[in-house]
Amino acid sequence: MAVIGAGAAGLVAAAFAASRGADVVLIERTPDGGRKILISGGGRCNILPSVLAPERFVTDSPAHVMRGMLKSWPLHEQRAFFENDLKIPLALEEDSGKLFPKSNRARDVRDGLVALAGERGVRLQFGTSVTAIEAGAAGFTIATPTGPIAAGRVILATGGLSVPATGSDGTGLAVAAALGHKMIDTYPALTPLLGRDAGHAALSGVSLNARLRGKAGTRTIETQGGFLFTHRGYSGPSVLDISHLVARKSDAAATIRAQWSALDPAAWDREFEAPSALISTIVARHVPARLGERLMVEAGVPTDRRTSNLRRTERISLVGRLTSYLLPWSGDEGYKKAEVTGGGVALDEVDPRTLESRRCPGLFLCGEILDVFGPIGGHNFAWAWATGRAAGLGAGTP
């Protein structure tokens, strides 16, 4: 059997298929595989979240199917796999709830998975591109530049379109579509947004924790966490987790509103009741000074205004911008900066236990190629590990 793609899902799939006694060849277009593992978490590799949040995953497929697939390999068992099988101790980053290898080296994770696959007998065929897959009565013919490869079963783990520099070129999506699978339109997800207001460029480098509320058509989402103003627009966890509302072309134009601090409108009103205090000083206690000044300018509040002479209309305007700021955006950074791909093969196209295709017996699909992605913080790796294992066990079972 063949596994196509040596990313997170593919490496795990190959190792588990081989653990069932299957003769496995792992085909990968890059010279070494696991390129997205290497760049994840700034080179540290956020292997897992400390707590899985299925409700924050995004899919156009039945949500209960997605939840069942996530539960097929519980989080504590995934952690035990890395710590016991791969001998990679994990450490919890308390403030973020993320689990990293204690070494803080993503390479240890990639190399550990490659080594495990090799130890279990997987034949590693790096530097080999797959151009097409044909299904026949006797199995599959995999077309490569160096000649065809025959396989009785195939696990498709080629990823999506995100971060093409790591080797993601959409081949697997094209193959799945050519074999007749129902596809959900793809879009970049977990990607920075582009700004629309040139005045915000002056805020580049300003970072804070923010709460974002987004709406696009019937879709609504709320995120919270780091927010960063960039030269081109906005980034940070809260932005990445809401970016798919902007990126989905099938949705109505999204609106995103920002609450720049933990204070709600009533709390800000109480802050501005302080006797004869500078408004700018009060605002700077809760949001970065440059951002506060910008909000005051937009609200028409002079920077030297004191609470004693703050007009009602000024207060209402400023509080609105502090608690429900309409974020001006013009687009997104696309697949080049996206951490994952939204859309893909619909989940009802595969058996949720084995991940075998319902359209093409003997073909198994896992990882980013499926119509699921989660928030940042290790959730997408948890999906890759769980679905890779399920596909490996399904395809490797005689």
pLDDT digits (tens, 9 = 90+) for 115-152: 999 999 999 999 999 999 999 999 999 999 999 999 99
- Asked if 236 and 228 count as a contact pair (C-beta separation under 8 A), the reply is yes
Say if residue 117 is in the same domain as residue 178.
yes
How many domains does one find in the chain?
2
Q: Which domain holds residue 236?
A: 192-333
Same structural domain, 351 and 286: no
Q: Could you tell me if 14 and 104 lie in one domain?
A: yes
Say what the pTM is. Answer: 0.95
Same domain, residue pair 92 and 176: yes
Same domain, 144 and 68: yes
Q: What are phi and psi of 289, to 5 degrees?
A: -55, -45
Can you give the pLDDT at residue 201?
A: 86
Pair (305, 326) in one structural domain: yes
Last residue of a domain, which of 312, 333, 354? Answer: 333
The domain that holds 33 is classified in CATH as: 3.50.50.60
Q: Looking at the structure, do residues 252 and 344 belong to the same domain, yes or no?
A: no
Residue ending a domain, among 291, 309, 333, is 333
- SS3 at position 117: helix
**Given the DSSP bridges, would you call strands 193-195 and 329-332 parallel, antiparallel or unpaired?**
antiparallel
- Stated as kind and residue range, the H or E segment containing 134 is strand 132-136
Do 106 and 89 have their domain in common? yes
43 shares its domain with 109: yes
**Are 97 and 220 members of one domain?**
no
Q: Provide the token pair at 89.
A: 């101790």
pLDDT attached to residue 229:
97
Which amino acid makes up residue 21?
Answer: G
Residues 303 and 325 placed together within one structural domain of the fold: yes
265 vs 168: CA distance, rounded Å: 45
User: Residue ranges of the chain with pLDDT lower than 70?
Assistant: 250-252
Q: Do 271 and 364 belong to one domain?
A: no
Boundary-marking domain end, from 280, 300, 333: 333
Amino acid at 15: A
